[in-house]
C-alpha cells in the first residue's frame, strides 16, 4: 500500500513539472562545478564572497579539525559544551551588535528552534508569506496563532497589527529574501516596531557577510532576534542565532532542536572565529559582489527578461514549471549550472531561474550567461 502511494505521488510530481532530480556533481573549483566530468559555470552557489572556495579558509578548517577532532560526540547539554564554542558565540554577538549568540548545526534547525521555542498558544505571530520553510514549520510546531501578510508589503502588515490588539505579538521576516532577492525596508519596519511594540525576528542568512558595513547585515536596528548562517557568505557550515540577553539560557532550557541534537564540534567554532576576522576584512570581495550583481541585473533587463532582486540574488521569472526546468537543463548542456525554483519553493505558476552572484564571477561570465539564456528562450521556447 505504501509503495503504491509513494509511486503515485512521484508520478504526480513528474506530470506537474515539479519532480526534483538534481544533477550529480563530481567536484567544485571556485566558480565552477564539474558535472559528468564537464567544467560548468556555477550560478547557483551561495558562496557569495568565495570563502568556501578559499585555500586559506580550507587550511584553517583542516588545521582546527586536526587539533580539536572530528565530532562533538554529544549534545551541548551533556558533554559538548566546549569553551571555544562559547568564545565563538560571544565574538559573533559582539561583532554583529547583539547581546548573545547560539550556534546550530543548520539554518533550518536554527529557525525551527527560534520559532517553535519562543512562541506558543498565548502569542500572535505575523509572518511574511515568503519566509523560509523552516520558519513556517516552526510556527506549526510552536502552536502559536499565526497569520501571513503579503510579501514585503509593510502596509499590509500594519493593517494586521492594528487589528491584533495583543500584548505578545511578533513579526517574522527576512532582510534579503532567498528566492525573490528583494530587500526589507528596514527603516519602515523599524517605524512599525516602534509604534506597535512587537518582537521582531529578521532572518539575515543571505545578508550576513555579504551586505552592510563589515558584512554585518542590514537589519540590526530593527531586529530583536536575527538568525544567520555560516554556510553561505562565510564559507563554512552551520548557523547561529543572535539575540538579547537572557534568551540563550531560554533556548538551552526549552529548545528541543538544540537540547536533543549532537553539537557542532569544537573545531567548527574555532574555525568560525578565524573566518569572522576574514569576513570583516573582505570589503573588496563585497564590492566585487555588488558590482557583479548590478551588472547581471542590467544585462538581463537589457535582454528583455523580467528580473527581480535588489542585491546578489536575482530571479528571472519564467512562470510555467516544466518550461523553467527545461531551460535550466538546456543551460547545463551549454556549461551553466542554474537553479530552477518551482512550487512549493515559489508560488505555483511563478517558477523562476534563481541566480546567485559571487565575488568570483566576472563580466565575461555574465555576458556569456545572458547571451546563452536569450538564445535558448528565443529559439527553443517560443510561445
What dotted CATH number matches 57-280? 3.40.640.10
| Residue (of 167, 113, 166, 173) closest to 141 by Cα position | 113
The DSSP H or E segment spanning 126 is strand 124-128
Q: In this structure, are residues 300 and 314 in contact, taking their beta carbons and an 8 Å threshold?
A: yes
Backbone angles phi, psi at 28, to 5 degrees: -145, 140
Q: How far apart are CA 251 and CA 249, in angstroms?
A: 5
Residue 202 · residue 184 · CB < 8 Å? yes
| Residue entry with cell 538534481 | 22
Cβ contact 88:270 at 8 Å: yes
Half-sphere exposure of 21 (CA within 13 A, CB side): 11
336-358 pLDDT, tens digit per residue, is 999 998 888 888 888 999 999 99
- We find that the CATH architecture of domain 17-49+282-379 is Alpha-Beta Complex (3.90)
What is d(CA 383, CA 369) in angstroms, rounded to the nearest whole number? 21
pLDDT at 383: 40
Provide the H-helix boundaries in the chain: 2-15, 55-68, 83-96, 107-118, 133-142, 154-164, 186-196, 247-254, 256-259, 266-280, 283-302, 321-333, 363-379
93 CB-contact burial (10 Å; exposed 0-12 / middle 13-18 / buried 19+): buried
Say if CB 197 and CB 190 are below 8 A apart: no
Strand pairing class (32-35; 38-42): antiparallel
Those residues whose C-beta lies under 8 Å from the C-beta of residue 311, and which sit 6 or more positions away, are 176, 181, 183, 207, 210, 211, 290, 293
What residues in the chain have per-residue pLDDT under 70? 166, 380-383
What CA dihedral angle connects 321, 322, 325 and 331, to 10 degrees? -130
Task: Report angle CA 158, 160, 166 to the nearest 5 degrees.
Answer: 105
- 101 φ, ψ to 5°? -150, 145
pTM of the model: 0.93
Nine cell digits for residue 126: 505575523
pLDDT in tens, 194-222: 999 999 999 999 999 999 999 999 999 99
Looking at residue 313, what is its pLDDT? 97
- Predicted pLDDT at 381: 60
Q: How many CA atoms lie within 13 A of 59 on its CB side?
A: 3
All CATH 3.90.1150.10 domain ranges of the chain, comma separated, are 17-49+282-379
State the angle between helix axes of 107-118 and 133-142 in degrees (0 to 180), rounded to the nearest 10: 30
105 closest CA partner among 129, 80, 128, 141? 80
* Residue intervals in the chain for CATH 3.40.640.10: 57-280
What CA–CA distance (Å, rounded) separates 89 from 269?
8
Amino acid at each position: 500500500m505504501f509503495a503504491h502511494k509513494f509511486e503515485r505521488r512521484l508520478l504526480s510530481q513528474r506530470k506537474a513539472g515539479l519532480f526534483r532530480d538534481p544533477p550529480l556533481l563530481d567536484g567544485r573549483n571556485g566558480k565552477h562545478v564539474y558535472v559528468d566530468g564537464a567544467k560548468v559555470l556555477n550560478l547557483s552557489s551561495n558562496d557569495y564572497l568565495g570563502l568556501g572556495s578559499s585555500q586559506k579558509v580550507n587550511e584553517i578548517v583542516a588545521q582546527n579539525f586536526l587539533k580539536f577532532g572530528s565530532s562533538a560526540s554529544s549534545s551541548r547539554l551533556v558533554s559538548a559544551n566546549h569553551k571555544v564554542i562559547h568564545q565563538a558565540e560571544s565574538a559573533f554577538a559582539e561583532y554583529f551588535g547583539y547581546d548573545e549568540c547560539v550556534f546550530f548545526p543548520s539554518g533550518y534547525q536554527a529557525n525551527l528552534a527560534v520559532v517553535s521555542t519562543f512562541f506558543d498558544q498565548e502569542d500572535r505571530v505575523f509572518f511574511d508569506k515568503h519566509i523560509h520553510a523552516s520558519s513556517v514549520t516552526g510556527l506549526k510546531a510552536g502552536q502559536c496563532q499565526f497569520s501571513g501578510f503579503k510579501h514585503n508589503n509593510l502596509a499590509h502588515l500594519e493593517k494586521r497589527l492594528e487589528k491584533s490588539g495583543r500584548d505578545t505579538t511578533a513579526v517574522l521576516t527576512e532582510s534579503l529574501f532567498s528566492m525573490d532577492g528583494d530587500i526589507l525596508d528596514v527603516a519602515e519596519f523599524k517605524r512599525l516596531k516602534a509604534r506597535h511594540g512587537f518582537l521582531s525576528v529578521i532572518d539575515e542568512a543571505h545578508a550576513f557577510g555579504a551586505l552592510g558595513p563589515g558584512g554585518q547585515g542590514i537589519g540590526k536596528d530593527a531586529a530583536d532576534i536575527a538568525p544567520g548562517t555560516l554556510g553561505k557568505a562565510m564559507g563554512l557550515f552551520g548557523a547561529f542565532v543572535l539575540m538579547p540577553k537572557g534568551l540563550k539560557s531560554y533556548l538551552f532550557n526549552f529548545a528541543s532542536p538544540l537540547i536533543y541534537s549532537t553539537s557542532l564540534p569544537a573545531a567548527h567554532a574555532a574555525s568560525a572565529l578565524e573566518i569572522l576576522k576574514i569576513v570583516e576584512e573582505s570589503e573588496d570581495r563585497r564590492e566585487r559582489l555588488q558590482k557583479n550583481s548590478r551588472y547581471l541585473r542590467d544585462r538581463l533587463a537589457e535582454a528583455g527578461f523580467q528580473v527581480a532582486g535588489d542585491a546578489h540574488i536575482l530571479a528571472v521569472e519564467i512562470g510555467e514549471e516544466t518550461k523553467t526546468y527545461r531551460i535550466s537543463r538546456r543551460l547545463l548542456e551549454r556549461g551553466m549550472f542554474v537553479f530552477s525554483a518551482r512550487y512549493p519553493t515559489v508560488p505555483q505558476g511563478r517558477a523562476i531561474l534563481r541566480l546567485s552572484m559571487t565575488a568570483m564571477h566576472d563580466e565575461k561570465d555574465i555576458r556569456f550567461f545572458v547571451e546563452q539564456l536569450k538564445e535558448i528562450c528565443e529559439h527553443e521556447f517560443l510561445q
